[in-house]
Each structure stands twice: as C-alpha cells, then as structure tokens.
A and B are shown apart, each in its own frame.
Chain A
Amino acid sequence: MKQDDFEARYRVTWNRFETWLRVLRGGNDTTPGERADAAKLGVDYPRVYRQVCHHLALARARRYSTGLQQRLNQLALDGHQYLYRERRPVWTAIGRFFIAGFPAAFRRRWRFMLASAALFVVPGVAMAIAIQVQPELLFSLIEPHQVSSMESMYDPDRDVLGRERDSASDFQMFGFYIYNNITIGFQTYAGGLLFGLGSVFYLVFNGLFIGAVASHLTGIGYVETFWTFVAGHSSLELTAIVIFGGVGLMLGYSAIAPGRKRRWHAIRDEAVASMPLVYGATAMLIGAAFVEAYWSSTTWPPPWVKYGVGIAGWAALSLYFAVFGRHES
C-alpha cells in the first residue's frame, strides 16, 4: 500500500485518538464536540491504542516516511503513557501503610536498622562517657559559642525551656524542626548511595554530637531542664534518624554487594524497597517536630509527667514496630 492511501484510510482514527489524548490532558483547547467524541472513544481506548501500535509497526516495516513514523510513534507513546500510568486509591493505601506496611517493612530490614542504631548509639554513649571522664573533650567536637548557647537554653534559672517563645514562635520552631531535621534525614538516606559512607558519617556525627551535649548538660547539673525537654519527642526523632540511616545503609550495601543483579539494578530495587521506610520516617519527623515545638517546650507540667510521656512514647513506638502488620511480613 502506498503511504498516501494508508494515511487516507486511517487518518480519521489517528485524529480521533489524538483528540482523545488532548481531552484527557485537560487543556482548554478542546471544543465540546471533541469532548463528547472523546467520551465515546473512552470505552474503545485499548483497542484503538493497539491499532495505532500496529500502524506504527506497519509504517516501519513498509518504510513509510520519517514524518509519518514520528507521528505514529508519538501517538503510541502518549497512549502508552496513559495506559500504563500508576493508579492506586491513595487514601486507603496511606491508611494501610501506617497500620501495617511501615512496621512490616521495618522488621523485614531489621538488620540494617540494628546496624544503623549501633552506628548512632555506640559513638553517642562512648562520647557521653568520655566527657564525664574528660570534660574538655566537648570542645573538640563543638564550638565554644555553640556550647554557651546550649547552656543558656537549658539554664534552670530561666522560666522557658529550649528557646524563649510565645505561640507564634512555637510555630516558628515547628518550621525550623521540619526544615532542619527532615533535611538531615533525607541527606542521611541519600548519602548511603556512596557505598554507605554518607549515612555512616551522619549517623556517627549526630550520635557523637547528641551524646556530647547530653553528657555535658547533665554533667553541669542541668539535668531536669534538659531531660524534661527532650523526653517527649526523643522516641520519634531518634528512631526516625535511625531509620533514615538504615535505609541509607540498604542503598550502600546494595552498591557494595549487588549479588546476582547488576549493580544499578540492585540499587534500584533497594531504593524502591526503601521508599516505604522513607515515607514513614518522614512522617515520624513531622510528628516529632510537632511534639518538640508544642509540648517539649512547655514548663507547666511537672517533670514526672514529661518523663512519663517520654517513656510512654518509647513504649508505644516499640509496640508499634514489634506488633503491627504481623500478617504482612
């Protein structure tokens, strides 16, 4: 068949298909008539799409002109994009995810989570002990002016914990924790791609830093102000950082030991597997930021309430990761 006959025969089909795709894209360049026609085509869509694919194959086999091939390629491509798009009911998926998917994913990768926790906690505890023995060590890690600003934040002589604030500045701190903590979380995760090195760095550094500050403030007697402040959000925040580190280590491990897959395939698979944990840990950090901004800074509850809330948080989180979503894994 000559190209012109071929085009004459199928031009109507292609034009309809093209219009239909344009209507789908929701531009305002379509007429009501075109939209009505598109609604009719909707039922027939997979058949027409396959027809276009066939025409493309024919056009190539018969060496029709580049222009025609390009047009058919474009039609088939747009149709392909629409037919094979991702579609999932979002809200049920989110609900199921937090009830089951997230803790199940956490348990499935418990080795990485454990490794990450060790990289975070062991340097932290070591640093804390070291500073009790040799207090000057603190200044090898933290600048003197940073130390004095920390000290003033938790000074028992002050009547506000953390930073001075009213409700507007509570929100300011909420914004700061979102920005700062989640950025660190994301970087801890992404850094894992460099054979795990980035994640290890962030975990160890943050472990050392937190251990040093806690040990120092405890050592100089700011026990109650410091520990009542951090108790509330500690469970969510520290666990989330460990999870971000853990998924980073997953990436790194797949880069080091891809097994039977090609390296980038292994990384890609681990990246996909790690996404549920990234979503979950991000949600945890948002929760932690909220608690830290609106609860941790309050001074009216007696210390035992604040410690109680902190312990309850750890208990609830342990229960959540231990029990929820059992049937998924």
Chain B
Amino acid sequence: MRLPLLLDTTEDIATPEGVELRLPVAGLAPRSLAWLIDALIKSVGLIAVSVAIQFAGDFGVGLMLISTFLLLWFYNVLFEVFYNGATPGKRAVGLRVTNANGTPVGWTGSLIRNLIRFVDALPGCYAFGCLAVLTSHRFQRLGDMAAATIVVFEPKTAFQRAARTVDPIPVRIPLTLEEQQAIVSYGERAVGLNEQRAEELAAILKPVFPDATRNQLRGYAAWLAGGERRA
C-alpha cells in the first residue's frame, strides 16, 4: 500500500536494480532494551574474567586489562562485522545494524559508530545519544550519523503461507485496488489473529458487506487473490 504514511518508520532504500527496498527502522525503546541486554552480557563477561584471574597473578591482571579494553571498545564492532550486524542483545530484540543504503555494515562503519559511542554516552546515561535518536528522522544516534548507519528490525517471516486454505467466494461489488488489497491482506493476517480480534476487524466492513465475518472475508480474499479455484 503506498499511502502517504507520515508516521511510518520505514526507510526506503533505492537500489541499482530499480526497486526500493523497505526497512523498518528501530526507535529508542527496542534499542535501549538491546543495549541493556548487551550491558548485562558484558558485565557477566567482566566478572567472569576478573574471577578467573584471581588464580593467575600479575600475568592475569594484564590479561584482564586487555580483555576489558577489548570488551568495552570492540564487543559491538566484532559482533556487528562478523554476526550479520547484530550483537547478542540486538539479536535477542530482533535488531541489526546496516549501512544507511541497506548494505551490511563493515569495519569502517562499525568502528566509527562505536568510537563515537563515547560521545553518545555523554554527559551521562547516553543523554546525547537518546536525544539524537529522538530527534533524528531515522532514529540515529550521533555515532550512527557520523558512520551513516541505521538500526533496523530484523523482519519477521511474512504471515503469508496459510492464507489460501479456504474456498474462494466471489465478490459482487466493484472495489478499488486499495480496497481489494486491504481485504487480501486481511485474509493473510486473519490466520495469525485470535478469533475475537479477527471478527472484530471483520465487523468494520459490515456497512459494505452485511454478512462480513472472518471466514466470509477470507473467502473474498482468496477470490480476489486467486480467482475461481483453490490454490
């Protein structure tokens, strides 16, 4: 549907192949959650290292300092470069980092955004970073803007499969393309909704289809998408 969605949070990326790819950009809340999970993982890592070195003397202290350094500055970089742009925290929330043009983030981009993280964390509690995320139009923190990266939702598998398991019911009223598309999309979504909600949504169409129920609309959807026969 290409309605002018002013409040939409998707980012369109032009490709050389002539289609625009759509990426849903992630806002402050999911990103904070991912950050929190990563912070917990890092703290556990630091505690584990400092317990282990109790038995390793001065050499262990050296090792601990180096691993602390690596953990603090390179945890994000290494995961983002080698793990599809996602730290474990981001993976858990379903986020990943990509370049603003949709390509995977590389060393340069990842390093820039994670070095600038120091400024995002100023003057405390990531104040600059949060402010930037809230005010920038693609939810970027300062590091993201300097590195031209964005944080997007890892898209969920589309709810498309089981849509056409009902018998098509012919639609006798002329419908515009948008209206047809709304009904077809409903047919796909109805499978994943609980019954009450599905009926509730179907009831919106009562003025047009007096007999609008969940199954009736799914039948219409099957007919609009596929025609006379069952796919």
Task: Report which A residues bind B (CB closer than 8 A).
Answer: 2-5, 7-8, 25, 49-50, 53-54, 56-57, 60, 63-68, 70-71, 73-74, 76-77, 80-81, 84-86, 165-166, 168-169, 171-176, 178-179, 182-183, 186-187, 189-191, 193-194, 198, 251, 264, 267-268, 271-272, 275, 278
Tell me the bound Cα distance from A172 to B57 in angstroms: 9
Chain A residues, CB < 8 A from B119 = 190-191, 193-194, 198
What's the nearest-Cβ distance from chain A to residue B17, in Å?
A: 4
16 additional contacts, CB 8 Å, given A86-B104, A168-B58?
A: A2-B225, A2-B226, A4-B227, A57-B18, A63-B1, A67-B163, A74-B158, A77-B23, A80-B15, A84-B103, A175-B69, A179-B65, A179-B68, A182-B73, A275-B112, A278-B115
Q: Is the CB of B188 within 8 A of A65?
A: yes
Q: A63-B177, A70-B155 are in contact. Are A81 and B103 (CB under 8 A)?
A: yes
Q: Is the CB of A171 within 8 A of B163?
A: no
What's the nearest-Cβ distance from chain A to residue B193, in Å?
A: 14
Residue of A nearest to B160 (CB): A67
Q: Is the CB of B158 within 8 A of A56?
A: no
Q: Is the CB of B146 within 8 A of A267?
A: yes
Q: How many residues of B contact A (CB 8 A)?
A: 62
Asked if B180 is an interface residue, CB under 8 A from chain A, the answer is: yes
**Looking at the complex, which one of A25, A56, A175 makes contact with B64 (CB distance below 8 Å)?**
A175
Which positions 53-81 of chain B face chain A at CB distance < 8 Å? 57-59, 61-66, 68-69, 72-73
What's the nearest-Cβ distance from chain B to residue A96, in Å?
A: 15
Q: A57-B19, A67-B160, A73-B21 are in contact. Are A4 and B226 (CB under 8 A)?
A: yes
For this complex, 8 residue pairs linking A to B, each with C-beta atoms less than 8 Å apart, are A8-B231, A64-B225, A65-B188, A66-B1, A81-B104, A179-B65, A186-B73, A264-B145
Q: Interface on chain A toward B: helix, strand, loop, or mixed SS?
A: helix
Q: Is the CB of A175 within 8 A of B148?
A: no
Q: Is the CB of A275 within 8 A of B111?
A: yes
Q: Is the CB of B142 within 8 A of A172?
A: no
Chain B residues, CB < 8 A from A80 = 15, 17, 21, 102-103
Chain B residues, CB < 8 A from A77 = 21, 23, 102, 155
Chain A residues, CB < 8 A from B231 = 4, 7-8
Residue picked from A65, A76, A176, A271, most chain B C-beta under 10 Å: A65
Chain B residues, CB < 8 A from A5 = 226
Tell me the bound Cα distance from A176 to B177 in angstroms: 66
Q: Is the CB of B158 within 8 A of A71?
A: yes
**Looking at the complex, which one of A57, A65, A169, A171 makes contact with B160 (CB distance below 8 Å)?**
A65
Asked if B108 is an interface residue, CB under 8 A from chain A, the answer is: yes
What's the nearest-Cβ distance from chain A to residue B97, in Å?
A: 12
Tell me the bound Cα distance from A183 to B73 in angstroms: 8
Chain B residues, CB < 8 A from A268 = 145-148
What's the nearest-Cβ distance from chain A to residue B81, in Å?
A: 9
